[in-house]
Structure 1
Amino acid sequence: MLKNIHGYFDFEWQFVTPPSRPPPQAKGFQTIERHVDETLQNESAITLNDRIKADIVVMCQERGLPAEGDKRTLIENLMEWQNSMPVPGPSTPKLYSLDPPAAVKKISTNTVSLNTLLMEANFQGEIKYEELQVGRKLGSGGFKDCYAGVYHGENVAIGELRVQNFTEQDVEDIKHEINVLKQLRHENIVRFVGVCTNIQHLCIVTELCDNGDLYDYMRKARKPSFAQMIMYMHDIAIACSYLHTRRPSIIHRDMKSMNILISSDHRAKINDFGLARIRARANASMHTQCGTPNWQAPEFWTSNPRYTEKVDVYACGLIFWEILSWAELGFPYHKLTEHQLYEAVRDREVRPPLEKLRKYPLSLLQLIQDMWKKDPKRRPSMSYVVDRLAEYLQ
């Protein structure tokens, strides 16, 4: 049912619920008047203030201290702990829509005719195929094959289009994606390099993100620090805010962990703008169904959907939940069929479980819950989300 980008492009994927991990052991405590905390003994209020808030939060959590409040309060709690709190003793073990899709009109086309259609869009950044060094295959699916490659000394991703049996909508989507990509310039959005309209090799060339997509990365990489998870979330939020605050604004409409790429320097970047739409006026609503149901906002699920950029806010809330759980809880609603998902999420307002994430600051979990509220008007803007996440990076 779901489509996985595998770094760049869609292919069919069968998900398996990740095995549960054994519960952590609880710490025993013995009380004495004073102790030395090896981590804190060389710290002062000044040196702690030089750290970002996310690190301070983790230090408080490790000592069983409150993780809520401003940075100054958290530092004061740590200093008090160093001077008077109990010392840890030895550890003691603690025991869909169900209707069939409408027939899609196919067009009989070949590379030459498709090439002509795309060239009519008057694209800038034409790349000669001979200038591309094509390397290993990264993934494939639908009508795209993606390869790692090199262009003028730069590592790039080369998405070569397979054009047999294209639909008219496929052609329009390709033209649209290129037109959106080429106008975006942000460090947290996958950078468009150019398009190759060689008669035999029609390619979209973008920057290469070595760690692939976030969905796969969470399943193969060790869980990062809380600070790093906040950085991923902040990257996603600031890129989404950039899209929404452009004039005219852009709604991605298919935000999900498969469409977030992770670069070699561990920056998160939004990818895949095939479904993105430009919102001409700030008070205008969109009306097209699209995207992957598990990350879709409830307002999509009507015969005549009306929605704003708040659909991206909803999806980002789910992505943030995935990041905090780091794939240990699967992906959103992974046990539900499409029909069950619609009924549970839209009609009963079911949301992903938060019980196992209670170790994180309550204010952060509340922000995520606000982002996935059913009423779009009650969801915060992505600019607000950026500001709240930035507090943990100061």
Structure 2
Amino acid sequence: MLRNANGYFEFRPLTLPKAIPMFLGKGFQTIERHVDEGLENETEETLHRRIKADIVQLCQERGLPSEGEKSALIRNLLGWQKAKPVPGPSTPQLCSLEPMVVSKKAPINTRYLNSILADVDFHGEISYDQLTVGRKLGSGGFKDCYAGTFKGEEVAIGELRIQNFSELDVKEMKHEINVLKQLRHESIIRFIGVCTNVRHLCIVTELCANGDLYDHMRKVRKPSFGRMIMIMHDIAMGCSYLHARRPSIIHRDMKSMNVLITSDERAKINDFGLARIRPRANASLHTQCGTPNWQAPEFWTPNPSYTEKVDVYACGLIFWEILSWAELGYPYHNLTEHQLYEAVRDKEVRPPLEKLRKYPPSLLALIQDMWRKDPKKRPSMFYVVDRLADYLQ
């Protein structure tokens, strides 16, 4: 992995493992293989060309230590080349989740909606007849998302359900547009424009062909450790970009449903309806929002006070989801909302790590630091980016 002239990482293709889980109905089948075949043509030089995350995975598959300097891990692998083959890693199972309940909202008058939107600077105004609307991708709180095209480019079209709009929805939508217009980063969804047709109010963004991370983890086989680290690194880069802006932006609703996956498996942060601009570096915000399962404990008070560290906490939970690749469900999926508050805030319960012990202890320690109860003890997203980058060298 190399940095380009702009300072961003460029990913070189990974060598896929020889055990490829295949879809059979609703389950998986694993093609049997011996992991040592992967070392037959490897030398010290070829191993050094790989990123560290690949080396870590090769060590994990052979029961070798996966913590330490890259050169030491390579020496262990070279000493293992003539060892007896062992079976490949097991395949994760798909989990079933209960459907989410969507609350009903009082409709808002269309004429009133237009009067509210009149003060929005719709940079990138798009005529509805310029859009070709295709298949439905999914639904959010107040909009349906479709794949489509605009001027020959594949795009995502978020059409707002005006008949179910509340005044709060309008304010949230206006804010999302105003935030999106400001952002330009490879790990942030790219805003293209807005269509303000009275019957079709749409937000148009780039299309991420693989959908959101939450669904993606439940549709495809578990990728290599290196690929998982790349997804985590993309998320961390996007968050650090938001926090580095002046004034900084706090997403406030980071969760696996708000991370989109492109056709080349890059991750991009989406859904800025709840994002807030932090006026000063030492200022705290005081509004409750977000999804409880990924919320930091400091949200759960009548008058919450928090900083960008709420995004760090949520990213720690997302990283846990990625390493388990949905095999363990989503955070606190077995708790009611009341039980969640009591367990997480009062008893400091966190998602289980026992089944993730094969991964480097330093990586698991980083995740544990990210979801600490005390925000001041959580690392910055800049620090997280640096730690994850160690595995991509």
Task: Give 1:1-394 correspondences, 5 Å limit.
Answer: 38-82=37-81, 86-88=83-85, 108-110=108-110, 112-164=111-163, 166-394=165-393
Amino acid paired to 2:134: G
Whether the 8 Å CA contact 2:316–2:367 is kept in 1: the answer is yes
Q: Which segments of 5 or more consecutive residues in structure 1 lack a partner in the other structure? A: 1-18, 28-35, 92-102
8 Å Cα contact 1:105-1:168 kept in structure 2: no
How far residue 188 of structure 1 moved from its aligned partner, in angstroms, is 1.0
TM-superposed deviation, 1:155: 0.6
Q: SS of the residue aligned with 1:164?
A: helix
With over 3 angstroms needed to count, the CA separation of the structure-2 counterparts of 1:75 and 1:319, relative to structure 1, is: same
Q: Residues 17-37 of structure 1: CA distance to partner in whole angstroms, max 9, x if unpaired?
A: xx999xxx9x9xxxxxxxx95
Task: Note closer, same or farther for the CA distance 1:354–1:177 as it changes in structure 2 (3 Å cut).
Answer: same
Per-residue CA deviation, residues 261-292 of structure 1 (Å, 9 max, x unaligned), is 11111111111001000001010001000000
User: How far off is 1:89 after superposition?
Assistant: 6.8
The CA deviation at 1:87 is: 2.4
Contact 1:233 1:320 in 2 (8 A): yes
Instruction: Say which SS state the counterpart of residue 263 (structure 2) adopts.
Output: coil
Alpha-carbon offset, residue 199 of structure 1: 1.9
The code of the aligned residue for 2:260 comes to: L
Task: Give the drift of 1:88.
Answer: 3.7
Shift of 1:161: 1.3
Larger Rg: 1
Q: Note the alpha carbon deviations across 1:322-381, whole angstroms, 9 max, x for none.
A: 000011100000010000000000000000000000111111111100100000000000
Separation (CA, whole Å) in 2 of partners of 1:163 and 1:313: 34
Greater relative CO, 1 or 2 (CA 8 Å, sep 6+):
1
In 2, distance between residues paired with 1:68 and 1:188?
28
Cα deviation code 1:137-186 (max 9, x no counterpart): 22235431221110000111111112225332221111100000111011
Which SS does the other structure have where 2:242 is aligned?
helix
* One-letter code aligned to 1:146: C
Q: Secondary structure at the match of 1:188?
A: coil
**Does the CA-based 8 Å contact 2:142-2:164 persist in structure 1?**
no
Letter in 1 for 2:319: F
- With over 3 angstroms needed to count, the CA separation of the structure-2 counterparts of 1:304 and 1:147, relative to structure 1, is same
CA contact (8 A) 1:294 1:341 kept: yes
Looking at structure 1, the residues matched to 323 and 317 of structure 2 have their Cα atoms a distance apart, in angstroms, of 10
Residue pair 1:173, 1:274 contacting (<8 A) in 2 also:
yes
* Pair 1:45–1:178, CA change in 2 (3 A): same
**Structure 2 segments unaligned to the other structure (5+ residues):** 1-25, 89-102
Q: Is the 8 A contact 1:148 1:208 kept in 2?
A: yes
Describe the shift of the 1:306–1:107 C-alpha distance in structure 2 as closer, same or farther (beyond 3 A): same
Residues in 1 aligned to 2:184 and 2:309: alpha-carbon distance in whole angstroms: 22
Distance 1:37 1:356, change over 3 A: closer
2: distance between equivalents of 1:104 and 1:221?
A: 33
The amino acid across from 1:109 in the alignment is: N
**1:117 CA drift (Å):** 2.0
TM-score scaled by length of structure 2: 0.85
Q: 1:115–1:202: 8 Å Cα contact kept in structure 2?
A: no
- Contact conserved, 1:213 with 1:260, CA < 8 A, in 2? yes
Letter in 2 for 1:380: P
Provide the C-alpha distance between the structure 1 equivalents of 2:72 and 2:348, rounded to a whole number of angstroms: 35
Query: Take 2:369 and 2:125, find their aligned partners in 1: how far apart are those partners?
Result: 44
Q: Tell me the CA shift for residue 82 of structure 1.
A: 3.3
Secondary structure of the corresponding residue to residue 87 of structure 1: coil
1:286-310 deviation per Cα after TM superposition (whole angstroms, max 9, x unaligned): 1000000000000000011000000
1: distance between equivalents of 2:270 and 2:121?
23
- After superposition, the CA RMSD in angstroms is 2.4
CA distance in 2, matches of 1:153, 1:392: 38
Query: Which secondary structure state, in structure 2, belongs to the residue aligned with residue 185 of structure 1?
Result: coil
| Inter-CA distance 200–74: structure 2 relative to 1 (3 Å threshold) | same
SS at 1:39's partner residue?
helix
Identity in percent: 75
